[in-house]
Structure 1
Amino acid sequence: MKMTHFSSTPRAVFLRLVSLGVLLYTLWSQITCYPNELKGNCTLCGYNYDEFQCWETRVGQEMYKLTMFDLLITVAVFLLVEFPRRLVVDNCSCKPVQWVGRQEFVVPSNVLGLVYGQTVVWVGALFCPLLPAINTLKFVILFYCKKITLFQNCRPALRTFRSTTSTFFFLVVLLFGWGLATVVLIYSLSEIRPSYGCGPFHSSSTMWSTVPDSFNNLSNVTQEFLFFVGSQAFSIPLFALAIVVMCYVVALATVYGRSIALLKAQLKLESRDKQFLIKQIESLTRQAHIPTHHAGVQD
C-alpha cells in the first residue's frame, strides 16, 4: 500500500504532461496542416486559415480550458469523493469500511499537480495573457480546498514524507515542463505565421520579426547602447564580476555553514551538560533524604 502511492505518482504526472504534449502536437498539426502542407490556405497564409482564422486565440482557449478543468475536477473530487468518504467512514462501523478508512493525503501527488498547472500557464501565457492571474486565483482556491480536506477528510500518512528524497524528482518534472513550454513558445515565435485576422502581429511574417523591426526603429544612441551591452567589452567584465560575486556568496555560505555546525555541536554539549547536572542533582537529593530518614528512625 505504501509503495503503490509513491510509485503511481511519477506515472500519473508524466501521463498528464504527455497528454499536454499530445494536445499541443495535435493543435500544431491542425494549424500547420501537417502532414498535408499543401491543403487549403496553408501554402498561401502559412497556416490553416480555413479552420483557424485566429490560431493564437484557439491555443489560449485550450490552455484556459485545461486550467479551469483542473480546478473543477479538484473541487468535484473534494465534494463528491473525499467528503462523502469521510462521512461514511465516521458513521459506519462495518469492517470493510473501517479497513479502507479515510483517504491518505499524499504530498508528492499534490505538489506535482501544482507543477502541471504551472506548465499549462507557461505554455498558454503568450496566447492568453490573463492566464497567470487566473491560475493564481485557482491556486488560492485550491490551497483552501486542500487545507480543508487535509484537516477534515484525510488521515495521517502511513509513510512519512521525505523532502530530501523527492526534491530531485520534483525539480526534474519541473524542468521537463519548462522545457516543453520553452519548445512550444520558441517554435510559435519563430516559425508559425501569425494570424491575419487578429492579434498585434498580424502584419508580421513571424512574431519574432517584430523584435528586429522595433530595434531598427530606435534612435542611434539607443542602438549603440544596446550593441555595447551585447558586445564582449561589456559581457566579459560582467561575467568576471558575476564570478567574483558567486565566489563571495559561496565563501559566505561556507562560513555560515561552519558556524551553524559549531552551534549545533554546542547545543548537543549543553544538552549533555544539562542531563549530567540533572543526574547529579537527583543523586545529591537522594543522598540528602537517606540520612534524614535514618535519623527519624533512630529517634
Structure 2
Amino acid sequence: MKYPKKKVLGSIAVVAVAALALSACGAGGGAKEASAGTTKDGVTTLVVGASPTPHAEILEFVQKNLAAKAGLKLDIKTYDDYVLPNTALSEGDLDANYYQHKPYFDEQVKSQGYDFAHFKGVHIEPYALYSSKIKSVKDIPNGAKFGITNDPGNQARALELLVDNDLLTLKDTGDKLPTILDIKSNPKKFDFIETAPEQLARSLQDVDLAIINGNFALEAGLNPANDSLLIEKAKGNPYANFLAVRSQDAKNPAILKLDKLLHSPQVKAFIEKRWPSGEVLPAF
C-alpha cells in the first residue's frame, strides 16, 4: 500500500479479528510453546507488558475493576523503551503487550521476524511538537534544531505532523515509511537530531523543539493538549495502540477476554475521565 502523504491522519486502523494471524517468516527468537496464561482455581493470570503511561494505568483499571469477574488476573510489567516489550513477548516472558500502534508493529514484525498478531485499537496518544524556548510555530527560526525519534515506525509519524502543518515536504517513498533522509523540501533548513524516543522529553532543553510521543510526554509532565505548539488531529488518527500477542495465542480465551475488557464502556469512560483534555483518547 502506498504511504499516503496527507493521509497519515486518515481513518483509524481497525483490524478485524479475522486478520489476527498477521505473522512473519521467522519466529523472532524461540517463543514458548505453551498457550498464554497460567490457570489456578479457575483464575487465569496473564503477564502483560506495557508502557507506564497510559497503558499500564489502563491495565491497572481493568485489574482493579473488571478482571476478577472475567476470571482473569493481570501481572503488569512496565517498560520504558519500545524494544524490550516485543522481545519479551517473542521469548515467552510475556503473554501479551500493550504499547504499540500498527505502523510500529508492522515495522517490527518485518524487521525482526516476529510471529505476532494484534487486536483492535484501544486508545490514541496524540503526537505533538514541544519547545521550552519557542512560544509559537511562526517564531520557529531558520536552522532550528528538532529532536526527533530514531524509531522508523514513529519517525514517519513525526515528520507527517510537520508536513501537515506546511513546514516541510517528503518524497514519495511508496510502501516504505519515510525518514529524515526522505525530506524533499526543508525551506527553513531545520536540523533534525535523532534521539531514542524515551529520551526526547529529557533532552528538550538541548534542542529548540522536539516531537514527542504522547506517553513519554505525559510521563515528563507535558500535556499534549495544553503544552504543545502542534498536535495531531484526533479524528481519523491511525495510530491507535492495541494488545499484541504471539500468533499462536490469537484465539486464546483468556486473551480474548482481556481484549474485550479493554474495549468495554467502563474502560472508555475511565480514559475520558482520567485524561479529560484529550491527552489520551479512546479509539473505540
Q: TM-score, normalised by structure 1?
A: 0.24
Q: Which structure's relative contact order is higher, taking Cα pairs within 8 Å and 6+ residues apart?
A: 2
Q: Which has the higher helix share?
A: 1
Larger radius of gyration: 1
Q: TM-score, normalised by structure 2?
A: 0.25
